[in-house]
Amino acid sequence: MPVEDKNILNRLYIIAGGMFLFALLIAVKLIDIQFVDGDKYREMAHKNTTKNFVITANRGNVYADDGSLLATSVPKYDIRFDAVTVSSENFKENMVPLSQELGKMFGKPASYYQNVFRKARANKNRYLAVAKNLGYSEYIKVKSMPLFRLGPYKGGIIVEQRTVREHPIGKIAERMVGSESSQKPGYYAVGLEGAFNDYLHGKEGRRLKQKIAKGQWKPVYDDNEIEPQDGYDIVSTLNINIQDIAHHALLKQLEYYEAEHGTVIVMEVKTGEIKAVSNLGRTKDGTYYEKLNYAIGESHEPGSTFKVMAMMAALEDKVIDTSTVVDTKAGSKSFYGRRINDSHHGGYGKISAAKALEVSSNIGLATIIDEGYSKNPEKFINHLKDWGLDTPIGIPIKGEGKPMIPEPGHSKWSRNALPSMAYGYNLSLTPLQTLTFYNAVANDGVMVKPLFIKEIKSWNREVEHFDTEVMNDKIASEETINEIREILKNIVKRGTGKSLYSENFSMAGKTGTAQTEYWMKDWASNRRYVSSFAGYFPAENPKYSCIVVIHKPSIKKGFYGADVSGPVFKRIAQKIFTDSPLVAEVANLDASDKRIETDFESYYPKAQKKYTLMPNLQGMAGMDAVSLLENLGLKVKTQGIGSVSQQSIKSGENIKKGTQIVLKLS
């Protein structure tokens, strides 16, 4: 064999041998993969082609006390377009009719959409935004349009669904209902949504899916799948009608007085149920919206509304009685080197303690408290502690403000502390704390905790019920409570709140006007005030308590509590009297005639019919009787003043709406 051929053969042997060794190595590796590391690689493949997806639970709804929706989750849809996946034929055939349909729906010319789509196709845009934030019905309409009805592959439509939280009643009570922003960095859930998030949120589920193509996953049902558990619903104590009344009454006053911000709270006296909370703050452009929860979060010097607490302590300790004479001088008096003035020019001179509260004399209350407690200030402070004014109420809603009540040894304590506290300075309370105290006065001395939630439920099944909680079963003696209530009634009738008095309905309360930011250098040239009114209605057998606090009204238009906040209180009381008959007025009627039903729940449905029975009004306050009869649809004439002594239609007789009745008062 020639040497050259032999060399070629040797090379072939070497190549063949190398290929054999390579094949042998591959075989060994395959055996290793199959039998030694097989489980490992099978697991890797499984992980790359299967994935556990989170199934979000449906968030529970928030309801008003009558079942109206306050917050609910709804689907929203964004429509995008893949301009590449659509064939030239489909694009050419459907582009014009699609543009025409979109133009009709969204109010733009068809040419606009044609240009947008053609540009997207030329640029090979696979993610063109067509429409955003569509509701379900709008989404269905867009989905059925030319081209889009062909689906994602032939029609290029891309649908992105998300769930958003909506408030069916709009911006009203937005801060109290709250938000669920707890999952967003830098945010925390607020209001009812935040307080009861654990109930509303539900539990997420898990579902295994297998990848079948790029971006496409198919569910793989197995025993390990976890179904989501929908969140519970919560039924709040908020009342839609009262909330609407409070919101618009506050808004109207804020706009007129160009105030910085304000709040209103309405509470049901017996139960402590919060029926309305409105918090409105002013923006740079002069509009108002629910910025912060001032009602529960803003602790400030209350001013003259605190005089009721001071007077109650003095009456309870027998430091004074309502007829004790107090010398208010000529409207100015010095206490330990610090001068206190009354707003009334020239002062009131010597007046009774009751009169001092009626006219809101700073000097009168400061004198009473200083003379009664200067040697033992702890005795006065202990009353405030017994009423819970030194600690937060402990409501479930986040952000409750902390009160401040100084006592001997405190950094804010001095010889002037007691006189200042007597008329609402040198201490701080939240509006909700102040209202809780006034509500106790209206509730015969029983202090109940503000209640925001009535029940938690799952569909129609009650999960948890929330009952009224008594914080203090007697804040003062019956005698003291009655004396305070009489003074509060007279404040509206003849005192600082007399401009609010109405013969058509009764109410009781206290005006408040406090200087704020008075420690700032520019205060003398730019005075700032907090105007307030706290009270309840009707004055007898109260149904609701209410507080109105308005910060920094324009002093050019007014700043006294009776002028700024009082009208809001009156408007709320008036509307509730007019629009929603009060239980207390019907339940308190004389029941001597068996045909008269004294239980509101059974009586009032009858009162809504064409004919009903005339209640016995004898002894009822004239303004309360008028309000009740007008709610029954009667035309009322009165003769005299005082309580009802005679009525032209006898009790128990059938009455018809529009009938005229004459009441004699004496």
Q: Which token pair is 359?
A: 């006219």
Top CATH class, 587-665: alpha beta
- Identify the CATH number of the domain defined by range 242-579: 3.40.710.10
- Identify the CATH number of the domain defined by range 58-235: 3.30.1390.10
Which phi and psi (to 5°) does residue 205 adopt? -105, 175
Task: Provide the angle, in degrees to the nearest 10, between the axes of the packed helices 478-494 and 307-316.
Answer: 140
Arithmetic mean of pLDDT, 602-619? 55
* Pair 208, 223: CB distance under 8 Å: no
User: CB under 8 Å to 260, separation ≥6 — which residues?
Assistant: 281, 282, 551, 552
Least confident stretch, 177-181, 257-261, 321-325, 450-454: 177-181
Cα-to-chain-centroid distance, residue 510: 24
497-to-310, 347, 355, 360, 621 alpha-carbon distances in Å? 19, 18, 13, 10, 19
Report whether pLDDT(296) > 50: yes
Q: Quick check: bond before 538 cis, omega within 30?
A: yes
Report whether pLDDT(666) > 70: no
- Range from 50-64, 176-190, 420-434 that averages highest in pLDDT: 420-434
Least confident stretch, 31-35, 197-201, 236-240: 31-35
Arithmetic mean of pLDDT, 448-466? 93
Arithmetic mean of pLDDT, 392-413? 94
Arithmetic mean of pLDDT, 19-43? 66
Report whether pLDDT(128) > 50: yes
Give the span between the Cα atoms of 192 and 231, in whole angstroms.
14
Q: Residue 654 pairs with which residues in a beta bridge?
A: 613
Q: How confident is the model at residue 162 (pLDDT cuts 50, 70, 90)?
A: confident
Percent of the chain at pLDDT exceeding 70: 83
Q: What is the C-alpha R_g of the chain?
A: 37
Residue 77: in which H helix or E strand, if any?
strand 69-81
**Closest listed residue to residue 510, CA positions, set 461, 470, 565, 456:** 565
* Average predicted confidence (pLDDT) for the chain: 86
pLDDT for res 597: 32
Report whether pLDDT(116) > 50: yes
pLDDT tens sequence across 543-602: 999 999 999 999 999 999 999 999 999 999 999 987 654 433 333 323 333 332 333 333
User: CB under 8 Å to 186, separation ≥6 — which residues?
Assistant: none
Q: How confident is the model at residue 178 (pLDDT cuts 50, 70, 90)?
A: confident
pLDDT for res 598: 36
* Pair 429, 263: CB distance under 8 Å: no
pLDDT for res 613: 72
Report whether pLDDT(603) > 60: no
Q: Residue 545 pairs with which residues in a beta bridge?
A: 267, 536
Sheet strands (E) in 221-273? 233-236, 261-268
pLDDT tens sequence across 360-381: 999 999 999 999 999 999 999 9
pLDDT tens sequence across 506-560: 999 999 999 999 999 998 899 999 999 999 999 999 999 999 999 999 999 999 9
Residue 488: in which H helix or E strand, if any?
helix 478-494
Arithmetic mean of pLDDT, 596-619? 50
User: CB under 8 Å to 328, separation ≥6 — which residues?
Assistant: 342, 347, 348, 349, 350, 351, 356, 361, 363, 364, 367
Q: Residue 544 pairs with which residues in a beta bridge?
A: 268, 537
Least confident stretch, 16-25, 186-195, 581-590: 581-590
- Identify which has the larger pLDDT, 282 or 189: 282
Report whether pLDDT(27) > 50: yes
pLDDT for res 190: 81
Give the span between the Cα atoms of 576 and 569, in whole angstroms.
11
Report whether pLDDT(476) > 90: yes
Which phi and psi (to 5°) does residue 599 adopt? -85, 120
* Residue ranges covered by each domain of the chain: 58-235, 242-579, 587-665
pLDDT for res 610: 36
52-to-220, 478, 614 alpha-carbon distances in Å? 10, 66, 69
- Range from 13-27, 52-66, 178-192, 253-267 that averages highest in pLDDT: 253-267
Cα-to-chain-centroid distance, residue 480: 34
Which phi and psi (to 5°) does residue 303 adopt? 75, -145
pLDDT for res 636: 77
**Closest listed residue to residue 364, CA positions, set 350, 375, 374:** 350
pLDDT for res 607: 41
Q: Dihedral sign for Cα 557, 562, 568, 570, please.
A: negative
* Pair 388, 471: CB distance under 8 Å: yes
Give the span between the Cα atoms of 59 and 635, in whole angstroms.
49
User: CB under 8 Å to 108, separation ≥6 — which residues?
Assistant: 102
Sheet strands (E) in 491-558? 508-515, 529-537, 544-551
Angle at 525 between CA 519 and CA 531, to 5 degrees: 65
Task: Provide the angle, in degrees to the nearest 10, between the axes of the packed helices 377-386 and 307-316.
Answer: 110
- Identify which has the larger pLDDT, 651 or 266: 266
